[in-house]
Structure 1
Amino acid sequence: MSVEIEGIDDFIAKLDNAVKKIPKKRNEFVKKSAENLIKYTKDLTPVDTGNLKNNWQRTRPYMGSIKVYNNTEYAAHMEYGHRVKNRKGEWVKDENGKIKFVKGVYMLHQGVEELRDNFEEDAKLIIGDIFK
């Protein structure tokens, strides 16, 4: 008694083709995700001069990894919050004697959270055609 399986060669060919496409598609996916994150984060970034908002950038995708960053000197202060100093460099205190603290905006954090909801759907759209 023997069993004959048809279509296995086509299946193997599709797998081989998918293996060749994966690195490029993976990098396309992380690049698109980073661009979406930058767009959303820019919309949440407070504007005084526009310098902070216009300095959101990304690295090139490499092996499925990419970095989104902002080199503006005060970007971290806006993201996480900061204590307040006066022009003399002294800490500004509130009426209770505590150093004043400006809360962070968390624009990048909010951007990541917003995109997290659509991450799987976006991955399916971009990477989904690998097996076609």
Structure 2
Amino acid sequence: MKFSMMLDICLFATMIYLSAEQGPPRLAIEICENEQATIRCGGERILVESARYGQTRGNRCGTEAYGDCERNVTNIVKGLCNNKATCQIQPVQLFADPCPGTVKYAKVVYVCLFWLF
């Protein structure tokens, strides 16, 4: 039992070390509020670093208007996507509206990690 637990801890520590040292590429996806998108990592697993929902720049999702209205939705997206190979996101159905009357988008930053267990 002790050996198995030690092996699990060593494998986990190795995975973290490799991730920190070699740094898997960060990927990002932007999804307009009424769209649906799928994050895919093939045989690897998704690890969400950050997710925001709102509108902070113009010319995105068919609008010229922009403002300082966004919400941190990282925990919601982590709950949906972390440790999965694929994950579907449709912002309008998942997130509360941070700025009514403004066209919004979600931006998710993530990495794909190879898991040993």
**TMscore range, shorter length:** 0.3 to 0.5
The higher relative CO (CA closer than 8 Å, separation ≥ 6) is in 2
What TM-score comes out, normalization by structure 2 length?
0.33
Q: TM-score, normalised by structure 1?
A: 0.31
Whichever structure has more strand as a proportion of its residues is 2
Going by fraction, where is helix more abundant, 1 or 2? Answer: 1
